[in-house]
Amino acid sequence: MPRFAGARQRAPLILERLGELYPDATCSLDWRNPYELLVATMLSAQCTDVRVNLVTPALFERFPDAAAAAAVEADAVEPYVKSTGFYRNKAKHIVAACRLLVEHHGGAVPRTMEELLLLPGVARKTASVVLAWCYGINAGVTVDTHVSRLSQRLGLSRRSDPRTIELDLMRLVPQADWQTLSIRLIFHGRAVCTARKPRCLDCPIAELCPSHPGR
């Protein structure tokens, strides 16, 4: 691989190598149906998946479906999600989103990006996660803090805005691999290419990274 190979050349190799490193990479949130993944992903904003998984069992026991959450006010949801941060806004969005699900979708979670983005508290990240993992629809690349950081370090994008990073990544790999690229970058960001102290000297994909100290 040439020292300064472009992103289009390196992206498929990065995707393949990360697949070898994390063959079981999958969504880290615990969920059993689209409603649960939608709510869990909304809660994951500015919060770890580990923390979300700690609070959702009690939350879903009390509110097992969209109809149950739509029937209460936000303050009834707040105690269940308080430890996830920004809990008042999250509770408000969950209730409002569930009311729209009940009113316009019969309580079901829609299967299109356009419809999901009309739900309060749902942006492209949440919508992409739900579509990919629940319905097998690759409508975009999920760009969280890990994907954003690694995209820049690996030279896959020079942007800082999540939407423009997403557009860059969508151009580099086939649509069928959009969510696969995202989840593998997330796993590598957690395990090796961390925010504060990346383990560059131990990185198995160092030769594909223009940010590596040895470059």
By annotation, the residues acting in catalysis are 125, 144
Residue 197 to residue 206: CA distance in whole angstroms:
15
Whether the CB-CB separation of 163 and 127 falls below 8 Å is answered with no
Q: Which helix (H) or strand (E) holds 101?
A: helix 87-105
Count of helix runs (H) and strand runs (E) in the chain: 11, 0
Place of tokens 């383990």: 199
Residue 68 to residue 79: CA distance in whole angstroms:
16
55-to-18, 79, 151 alpha-carbon distances in Å: 30, 10, 30
Nearest to 179 by CA among 45, 25, 13: 25
